[in-house]
Chains A and B, each alone.
Chain A
Amino acid sequence: MLALRTSAVLAAVALAIAAAPVRAQDEKKEIQKYQRMTAESSPVELWELEGADLWKAKRGPNKVSLERCDLGMGPGVLKGAYARMPRYFNDTGRVQDLESRLVTCMTTLQGFTEKEATKRVFGNADKPSDMEYLSAYVAGKSRGIRMQVSTKNPKEKASYEMGKAMFHYRAGPWDFSCASCHGTPNKRIRMQQLPVLSSAQGARGTYTTWPGYRVSVSQLKTMEWRINDCFRQQRFPEPTYGSDAVVALTMYMAVNANGAVYRGPGTKR
């Protein structure tokens, strides 16, 4: 009996030893496999469908849809619009990302006040926000299109430069910058590889899959949310939704990702 038990224990130890040395390379491969599998069964298209309905719905005090919203390619043109944002808009005199531009359309076309339009921009799994649905829909219309964000306009150039400066600016109680996590290769937090967003390779892989559906929270997360959460992780004050600061950081990453094919809305851990 004792002998039997000892051999069982020995067998278990042997198994544990055999399973233990997982090499870093294998680990990376396994994580990629996991990411592929989550992407294959992603419900992200449901957000695009809801977004399409919301885009066409007559809403706001003016009871009009967003179908005449100009995202930079002319009123109502969605194809490829996201792959060219952020960009400078003549009517507002600002460089805008998708979400701040949607706020513009909701105020100018639909007649919402800015406060109403930005009242609930980040939703939860039980009740996603309008911005999340709309972002998924508009971004989905750029799937397969090459990223081509311009810095020709002086304001676009200035936004890019401000984003670059902010990316490397260390501040806050932890003396953190975006570059602390996303500036050097081969860093990770738990299972998550941290892309080097100041490099073309890192920015391309990451930027082209946002906004994304997060399986861990069963919800679509927008680019504004992503940057907002990076601010939180750095212990910075919460940035204003659609502010020049958030747009600048988006601009910096988008320009770094130029030339890559947009593949989103993606699927995240």
Chain B
Amino acid sequence: MPGPMKIRATLKGDYTDIRVLMSHPMETGQRKAQGKLVPAHFIENVTVKVNGKTVVEAQTSQAVSRNPVFAFRVKGGSKGDKVEIGWVDNKGESNKTEAAVA
């Protein structure tokens, strides 16, 4: 079961600053443990929606660290806007969470 996620979205004048923390092992498929390769396991897609409208659609790879933190700036926005962020990894596992712009 995927670990927790946390979004912090703050209105900063004419843009909204969105930060999201994700728990994920982000295995590259290159690392060995006890002599055996650890299978690749990483987030492939991140989607950010503000009030139901997709604002960021990102493709990510093994190059991203374990427990990644992403930050986005979205033009405009107002307090109370609903921010939804979800990810899907290469094993088909997914997680999502939402928060309101503060």
Interface positions of A (Cβ within 8 A of B): 41-43, 45-46, 49-50, 53, 125-126, 215, 218
Contacts and interface: CB of A to CB of B under 8 A. Distances in A.
Interface of B: 3-6, 21-23, 25, 65-69, 71
B4 A42 contact: no
Contact of B25 (A43, A45, A46, A126): A126
Contacts of B6: 45-46, 49
Contact of A125 (B21, B66, B68): B66
Contacts of A215: 65
Given A41-B71, A126-B25, A46 B66 contact: no
Chain A interface secondary structure, helix, strand, loop or mixed?
loop
Contact of B4 (A50, A125, A126, A218): A50
A46 B21 contact: yes
Given A41-B71, A50-B4, A53-B4, 5 more contacts: A42-B69, A46-B3, A46-B21, A49-B4, A50-B23
A35 B101 CA distance: 28
A126 to B, nearest CB: 7
Nearest to B69: A41
B36 to A, nearest CB: 14
Contacts of A42: 69
Nearest to B71: A41
18 contacts: A41-B71, A42-B69, A43-B21, A43-B22, A43-B23, A43-B67, A43-B69, A45-B6, A46-B5, A46-B6, A46-B23, A46-B67, A49-B6, A50-B4, A50-B23, A53-B4, A218-B65, A218-B67
Nearest to B27: A126
A37 to B, nearest CB: 11
The 4 residue pairs across chains A and B that have the minimum distance between CB atoms: A43-B67, A41-B69, A218-B66, A49-B4
Contacts of B67: 43, 46, 218
Contacts of B21: 43, 45-46
